[in-house]
């Protein structure tokens, strides 16, 4: 999924003539702590609520102040995983999107990123989730896929997390099968370490316990 499909149409960029009070009001309305400043279609930079609080007079235009604006942005063709990296490392509540000529197209909010992640991870598709812990040297995507497909299931999404200073890695797999018991049994036969699993077939109590266990394991 690319940036151009994640644009939030409701975010109106600031102009240099807009006041600090206006900026704070819009930030409150949009539930963000950053807003882009745009001159027609030229992106000038990103202003934060902290920048505005540092101003002495909220009634003055933001363009009247010398602001050390940061200028983070992504191009419309960049992938959502690149967008997440920039937003996370720079602690942004939104990220401006520019075209190939560096003209402002719109912004992507954290909510839009979450919606995009939900789609590419097949979160809304019925099925089960399995979390494996494997040695980095033993990790084999082809073997994991073969085990799942041997049980008449398909991998809907998969991602890998490697903790710092560890030789182990967590493999989180979403499959299209609601009853994952046979898949779990096969992983056990292959001596895989199953750290957590979640299936829609479980009864409500067990479902909640498994889900909570998975979220705790993933530190969500």
CATH number at residue 52: 3.10.580.10
Q: What is the pLDDT of residue 220?
A: 43
Mean pLDDT by 10 residues, the chain (220 residues): 93 95 96 94 93 88 77 95 93 96 96 88 84 94 96 94 87 94 96 89 53 56
What pLDDT, in 10s, does the model give residues 2-15? Answer: 999 999 989 999 99
> What was the pLDDT predicted at 92?
95
What does the pLDDT read at residue 203?
47
Which of the listed residues 103, 118, 133 is the one where a domain comes to its end?
A: 118
- Are both 50 and 92 inside the same structural domain? yes
Strands (DSSP E) along 63-167, which ranges? 74-75, 94-98, 104-109, 128-135, 155-161
Tell me the whole-structure pTM to 2 decimals: 0.72
CATH of the domain at 188: 3.30.70.260
- 173 plus 108 within the same structural domain: no
Taking the C-alpha atoms of residue 131 and residue 187, their distance in angstroms, rounded to an integer, is: 11
- Pull the structure tokens for residue 71: 């200028």
Instruction: List C-alpha distances in Å: 181 to 2, 15, 40, 57, 199.
Output: 35, 57, 58, 64, 9
- Regarding whether 129 and 103 lie in a shared domain, the answer is no
Last residue of a domain, one of 75, 92, 118: 118
Q: How many residues does the chain have?
A: 220
- 110 with 150, same domain: the answer is no
E-assigned strand segments in 67-213? 74-75, 94-98, 104-109, 128-135, 155-161, 168-175, 193-199
Say whether both 152 and 62 belong to one domain: no
pLDDT in tens, 47-89: 999 999 988 889 999 888 766 677 899 999 999 999 999 999 9
113 and 75 in one domain?
Answer: yes
Residues 133, 188 within the same domain: yes
Domain containing 38 equals: 3-118
Per-residue pLDDT at 211: 55
């Amino acid at each position: 999924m690319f940036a151009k499909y994640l644009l939030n149409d409701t975010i109106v960029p600031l102009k240099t003539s807009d006041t600090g009070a206006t900026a704070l009001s819009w930030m409150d309305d949009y539930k963000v702590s950053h807003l882009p400043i745009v001159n027609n279609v030229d992106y000038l930079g990103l202003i934060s609520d902290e920048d505005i609080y540092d101003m002495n007079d909220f009634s003055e235009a933001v363009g009247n102040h010398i602001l050390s604006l940061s200028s983070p942005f992504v191009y419309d063709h960049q992938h959502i995983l690149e967008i997440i990296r920039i937003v996370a490392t720079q602690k942004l509540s939104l990220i401006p999107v520019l075209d190939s000529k560096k003209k402002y197209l719109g912004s992507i909010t954290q909510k839009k990123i979450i919606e995009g992640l939900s789609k590419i991870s097949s979160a809304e598709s019925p099925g089960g989730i399995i979390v494996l812990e494997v040695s980095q040297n033993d990790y084999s995507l082809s073997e994991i896929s073969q085990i799942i497909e041997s049980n008449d299931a398909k991998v809907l999404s998969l991602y890998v997390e490697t903790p710092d200073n560890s030789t182990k890695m967590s493999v989180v797999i979403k499959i299209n099968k609601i009853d994952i018991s046979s898949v779990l049994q096969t992983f056990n036969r292959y001596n895989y370490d199953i750290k957590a699993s979640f299936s829609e077939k479980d009864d409500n109590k067990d479902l909640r316990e498994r889900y909570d266990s998975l979220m705790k394991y993933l530190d969500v």
